[in-house]
Amino acid sequence: MALTERDLAIIEFERTWWAEEGPKESLIRERFDLSTSRYYDLLSDIVDSQEALAFDPLVIRRLRRLRARRRRARFEGQMQRPPAR
């Protein structure tokens, strides 16, 4: 999968969004004209891409680590819940 201009813009946004003013969700809507759920769907596909890893290994590895941490926390949370009655 070759990276599109939008893919590259999303990677750049993930590299720098925290330095901009406003909530990330608003910035996503303004910059990409996407809902946050659609944006994160696209981001997930990009993060899985070897082309993205080659383009910006630091950002993509950071995003992969964050995703793995969130998945692990969700799984561990499910394991700690008492069984439903």
Predicted confidence at residue 57, as pLDDT, reads 97
Identify whether the C-beta of residue 4 lies closer than 8 Å to the C-beta of residue 10. no
Predicted confidence at residue 85, as pLDDT, reads 62
Predicted confidence at residue 15, as pLDDT, reads 96
Identify whether the C-beta of residue 3 lies closer than 8 Å to the C-beta of residue 51. yes
Identify whether the C-beta of residue 62 lies closer than 8 Å to the C-beta of residue 69. no
Residues of the chain with pLDDT under 70: 1, 79-85
Predicted confidence at residue 48, as pLDDT, reads 96
Choose among 7, 4, 13, 15: nearest CA to 61: 15
Report if pTM > 0.85.
no
C-alpha 29/C-alpha 56 separation (Å) is 23
Identify whether the C-beta of residue 10 lies closer than 8 Å to the C-beta of residue 39. yes
